[in-house]
Amino acid sequence: MSRERFVVHLPVLAADLDGARRLARVMGRALGFLADVDRLGTTVSAEDAQCVRHWVWCDRLLGGGRRCALPADHDGGCGPRGAGRSGSFDGSPRHNGRPVDGCGGHRT
């Protein structure tokens, strides 16, 4: 049986975007043991601007098709620290820390 990708929207309260990103990282790590969760694909958005998503994790490619598992906009070099299962299911590019237009059914 083939399976499709879905996005689960879970509203949370945070003081600001950085706080929402921190919470999303914690939630991603907590769910990292689940094989069907692409935690490095996590984005956050303001409730009233859900079309503008902000990446939580870095998007830089490492060797072997893996992606950097450090927070978006991190200092220093990239690495797999804390990666667990990393990568994009569909291989689409990610945009390191920059907002992504999430409306229109495609990633920009």
pLDDT digit string (tens) for 59-76?
788 888 787 888 888 888
Identify the pLDDT of residue 102.
60
Q: Tell whether the model's pLDDT for residue 4 goes beyond 60.
A: yes
Does the pTM surpass 0.75? The reply is no
Q: Within a 10 A sphere around the Cβ of 40, how many other Cβ atoms?
A: 24
Identify the pLDDT of residue 101.
59
Q: Tell whether the model's pLDDT for residue 97 goes beyond 50.
A: no
Lowest model confidence (mean pLDDT) among 5-14, 46-55, 91-100: 91-100
